[in-house]
Chain A
Amino acid sequence: AQSVTQLDSQVPVFEEAPVELRCNYSSSVSVYLFWYVQYPNQGLQLLLKYLSGSTLVESINGFEAEFNKSQTSFHLRKPSVHISDTAEYFCAVTEFNKLIFGAGTRLAVHP
């Protein structure tokens, strides 16, 4: 069975600093990978996804993630964060008709 490990439960960072949220998954077979974001008291929203093709995928608000098959990783990065990026971020991987989620990383952006 698939599993997803998000290596940091909390990441504090100052505004305009770069950030990386780490995600590793367990299987090396072909998978689809996702990052979801959850703002306080809201549901999850899709941030970006890797299905195939280019290993670097981007979101509309400046996040990017790189699929690394050899390291079974899908780390999320942003070169300069804003206060509004404060949220919880979940990495997920497909398993048949289901998604397997990591435990989440809480990103706290400070002024």
Chain B
Amino acid sequence: NAGVTQTPKFRILKIGQSMTLQCAQDMNHNYMYWYRQDPGMGLKLIYYSVGAGITDKGEVPNGYNVSRSTTEDFPLRLELAAPSQTSVYFCASCGGDYNEQFFGPGTRLTVL
């Protein structure tokens, strides 16, 4: 199993550009999550999904969108990138077993 994979690893965007961060898992997990990590702030939940076709907002959803058309994939869309979205983004999945989450390697995004 590859676990949770994320692409790209790094990306630089200009203000106002859009992009999609890809996340995929091959563990047949129902639950998937997107976090952003800023220095000294821990992880903040952006969006999550409890199954295909179902998504919900987390703590910091503004400026982002998600979709979940399959169990495996959970892309995160940034519209009109802003410098405040400079961060490291982590995707995670969970099989529902006591909320133990498995994390991807992250995408480091810089908005200039």
Identify the A interface with B (CB < 8 A).
9, 32, 34, 36, 42-46, 49, 51, 90, 94, 97-99, 101-104
Identify the B interface with A (CB < 8 A).
4, 31, 33, 40-43, 45, 48, 50, 58, 90, 92, 94, 98-106
B94: shortest Cβ distance to chain A, in Å? Answer: 8
The answer to whether A32 touches B99 (Cβ under 8 A) is yes
**Cβ-closest chain B residue relative to A49:** B100
Task: Provide the bound-state CA to CA distance between A18 and B87, in Å.
Answer: 33
The answer to whether A43 touches B99 (Cβ under 8 A) is no
Interface centre among A34, A90, A101 (most CB of B within 10 A): A101
A22: shortest Cβ distance to chain B, in Å? Answer: 15
A29: shortest Cβ distance to chain B, in Å? Answer: 14
- Chosen A-B contacts, 7 in total, with CB atoms closer than 8 Å, are A44-B103, A46-B101, A98-B45, A98-B58, A99-B33, A99-B99, A101-B42
The answer to whether A90 touches B43 (Cβ under 8 A) is yes
Task: Provide the bound-state CA to CA distance between A34 and B43, in Å.
Answer: 14
* Given known contacts A97-B50, A97-B99, A98-B99, A103 and B104 CB-to-CB distance under 8 angstroms: no
Task: Provide the bound-state CA to CA distance between A98 and B100, in Å.
Answer: 10
User: A42: which B residues are within 8 A, CB to CB?
Assistant: 105-106
* Given known contacts A42-B105, A98-B58, A32 and B98 CB-to-CB distance under 8 angstroms: yes
Known contacts A42-B106, A43-B104, A104-B40; 14 additional CB pairs below 8 A are A32-B98, A43-B4, A43-B105, A44-B43, A44-B90, A44-B103, A46-B100, A49-B98, A97-B31, A98-B58, A101-B42, A102-B42, A103-B40, A103-B41
User: B105: which A residues are within 8 A, CB to CB?
Assistant: 42-43
Task: Provide the bound-state CA to CA distance between A42 and B3, in Å.
Answer: 14
User: A99: which B residues are within 8 A, CB to CB?
Assistant: 33, 99, 101
The answer to whether B103 touches A94 (Cβ under 8 A) is no
